[in-house]
Amino acid sequence: MTVIAIDFETANERRDSACAVGLAWIADGAVVRRESRLIRPPELRFAPGNIRVHGIVPADVRTRPEFPDVMAEFLPDLASGLILAHNAGFDMGVLRASLAAYGMHPPAFAYLCTLQIARRVFPAEEGCGLGKVAARLGIRFEHHDAGEDAYACAEIALAAARQTGAPSIPALSRAIHLPITTVPAGPDSIGSGLIDSNSAQRPGSRPGSLAERARMAAGGRPSSAPGLHFAVRGSSGNRYAVTLEDRTGGPHLRCTCMAGRYGTRCRHVKALLDGDITDLLSGNHADVEALRRRMIATQEG
Task: Name the 3-class secondary structure at 69.
Answer: helix
pLDDT of residue 296: 72
pLDDT of residue 220: 42
- Beta-carbon contacts of residue 285 (< 8 Å; ≥ 6 apart): 12, 13, 14, 45, 47, 196, 198, 277
Integer Cα distance of 49 and 37 in angstroms: 21
User: Which part of the chain is CATH 3.30.420.10?
Assistant: 3-193
Integer Cα distance of 85 and 157 in angstroms: 10
**Mean pLDDT per 10-residue section of the chain, whose length is 301 residues:** 96 94 97 98 90 92 95 96 96 94 91 96 95 96 95 98 98 97 73 35 37 43 59 88 86 89 86 77 81 74 57
pLDDT of residue 211: 45
pLDDT of residue 286: 77
pLDDT of residue 251: 85
pLDDT of residue 282: 86
pLDDT of residue 34: 98
pLDDT of residue 300: 61
pLDDT of residue 190: 45
pLDDT of residue 226: 52
E strand or H helix at 128:
none
Integer Cα distance of 7 and 19 in angstroms: 11
CATH number of this structure's domain 3-193, picked from the four choices 3.40.630.30, 3.40.50.880, 3.30.420.10, 1.20.140.10: 3.30.420.10
The model's pTM is 0.66
